[in-house]
Structure 1
Amino acid sequence: MPEKRPRPPTVRLRRLAAELRKLRASAGLTREDVTERTGINEVTLYRIERSRARPQKRTLVGLLDLYQADERQRTDLLALQSGSNDQGWLRPYHSELPEEYTAYIGFETEARTVRNYESLFIPGLAQTEAYALEVIKAGLPMASQKEIAQRVQARMERQAVLTRDQPIQLWGIVDEAALRRQVGGPHVMREQVRHLLRLAAEPHVTFQVIPFGKGAHAGMTGSFVHMDFPDPDDPELVYLDTPAGDLFLESEAEIRRYKSMFEHLQAVALGPNDSMELLARVAETRE
């Protein structure tokens, strides 16, 4: 029997590193300042902040003292450091969400560009609330109403990255099947397609459709998200939502493979303008 694939430790490390960078910035300190006040080697601090090294507990406690972290932050970051299964830093807001999903939300919030290919669904950042509700209910048939409501709320909150002062760059590609499937019925789909048309008109959003007429293509193996970040020192990330669980891929070979796949899908799909024309035709058929 094959061993269960371990949870990538870099997921927790990146979450910890991101929070430590934010705390240091909030304290108005440079790395040189931290070294002077704590004695922590500047190279060591750099490696910790870039998720290249896990800090020892005493090192982390020293940083939290210096940054005047509050009790919640201390509890969450010490849990991340220890590698325990306790709730992560986003859980106070979405206490029932899986750990991997909270990690994804954190990465998405920090991302500069999100490239999302979906074969059957509208990308989460572009979903209306009514569409999201129908998708989540269907995908989690055993979930309670409370769990479904939390998932929908989290999905709607995620979309704030598109309307903040410096929005992320979103590039979405979908198979035409995502537009044709009657999720929630004609009314829900009509509003969803109209929302896509409005969203795609924004300068930081690009949307493409792979029409049925293109036949087989590389994206038929499944959906994925590729992210990069404003700081060039932050490695790129690929996220896969699979029936076996959420996966984060970070090796250079995996990143290259999915970047190449996305470029292939860009070439196969209709251009942004032609995609908008197809969206408009789909919307008209639902009148």
Structure 2
Amino acid sequence: MAGTRDLASPTLCRLKLRLELRALREEMGLTATEVARRVRWSVAKMTRLETGEGWVQPTDVEALCRLYGASEEQTELLANYAMVTKTNRDEWKSKEYQQVILPGFSAWLGLESVAEQVRTYESEYVPGLLQTESYMRELLRHTRRPQEEIDRQVEIGLKRQAILTREDGPARLNAVLNEAVLRRSLGGAELMREQLNHLAGLATQANIKLQVVPFSAGFHPAMTGSFTVLSFEDPKVGPIVHIEALGSATVIDDRERVRGYEDTWDDLIGTAASHDRSISMLKRAAKES
């Protein structure tokens, strides 16, 4: 059965529901169109259910499970997932947050909040999970948003970081930074020293590992851009990739595409400096700010 953390996240329940229902359908050798015809639904409804858009009726899930020949235990579990998507709401879906979160990013925040491991590469700035409040505010100041929106974004950003000190088990964070992140001045020397010393301090925590790709490394496998990979406790839920671009955020769960990012990650950590050398680079950059 699902753990309490699984059932605490409507976003994760929605993801697990669509993945398991899709797997059951494919085991039966049926297309989504054929299933829609058999249960007398529109193809649009079937598509919405398998793409995880909106909430799902438990009775619809039960109907599909009967068609797919799912066990009683699995049917109950999937119906429970559907009930969570219908009756619960991730805090990131609240109206006050939705007004300031990029399209698609609230779903990512819901997944991030229950992840077991976060692997992130950043080429330009300190990843959100590792930012000081001052650094965060300075980044947002350049977006030219109203102060009220900046304050709300900072509130969201600081709340995200709670996964690193979670009472039911902190997430493991592996972060690789381009050396440019350390050297790009943002908000002045004092702010940068505070941020870099903060990174060096975080890197001493057992659940956090930091590595830096030095300029001297030359070409490296992630030069095409930043990305983050989330992994979960449940083996049925494969890793998820997040890519943020100007004005949008994309979540990728296609297994083949995700595997490509995981391969890139493996190559990247082999290129980056060791954890200890990276901490030394952080401390040196702080002194030279």
TM-score normalized by structure 2?
0.71
Equivalents in 2 of 1:19, 1:268: separation in Å?
34
Structure 2 residue 194 is the aligned partner of structure 1 residue 197: no
- C-alpha root-mean-square deviation of aligned residues, in Å? 3.0
Structure 2 residue 36 is the aligned partner of structure 1 residue 17: no
Provide closer, same or farther for how the CA distance between residues 89 and 245 of structure 1 changes in structure 2, counting only shifts above 3 A.
closer
Equivalents in 2 of 1:275, 1:48: separation in Å?
47
- The residue number in structure 1 matching 2:132 is 128
Q: In 1, are the aligned partners of 2:102 and 2:247 still within 8 Å (CA)?
A: no
Cα deviation digits, residues 149-185 of structure 1 (max 9, x gap): 1111111110011112210000000000000001111
Cα deviation digits, residues 21-65 of structure 1 (max 9, x gap): xxxxxxxxxxxxx99xx9986344445667xxxx6xxxx59x96x
Provide closer, same or farther for how the CA distance between residues 262 and 170 of structure 1 changes in structure 2, counting only shifts above 3 A.
same
Equivalents in 2 of 1:118, 1:266: separation in Å?
13
- The residue number in structure 2 matching 1:265 is 268
- The residue number in structure 1 matching 2:3 is none
- The residue number in structure 2 matching 1:251 is 254
Aligned length: 230
Equivalents in 1 of 2:191, 2:229: separation in Å?
28
Percentage of identical aligned residues: 32
Structure 2 residue 173 is the aligned partner of structure 1 residue 173: no
Give 1:227's match in structure 2, choosing from 210, 227, 230: 230
Q: In 2, are the aligned partners of 1:115 and 1:226 still within 8 Å (CA)?
A: yes
- The residue number in structure 1 matching 2:188 is 185
Equivalents in 1 of 2:11, 2:80: separation in Å?
8
Equivalents in 1 of 2:214, 2:92: separation in Å?
40
Q: In 2, are the aligned partners of 1:114 and 1:170 still within 8 Å (CA)?
A: yes
Deviation at 1:112, TM superposition (A): 0.2
Q: In 2, are the aligned partners of 1:117 and 1:224 still within 8 Å (CA)?
A: yes
Deviation at 1:266, TM superposition (A): 0.1
Deviation at 1:249, TM superposition (A): 0.8
TM-score normalized by structure 1?
0.72
Q: Which structure 1 residue ranges, 5 or more long, are not aligned?
A: 1-11, 21-33, 78-87
Letter in 2 for 1:235: G
State the secondary structure of the residue aligned to 1:270.
coil
Deviation at 1:216, TM superposition (A): 1.9
- The residue number in structure 2 matching 1:153 is 155
Equivalents in 2 of 1:108, 1:204: separation in Å?
15
Q: In 1, are the aligned partners of 2:93 and 2:106 still within 8 Å (CA)?
A: yes
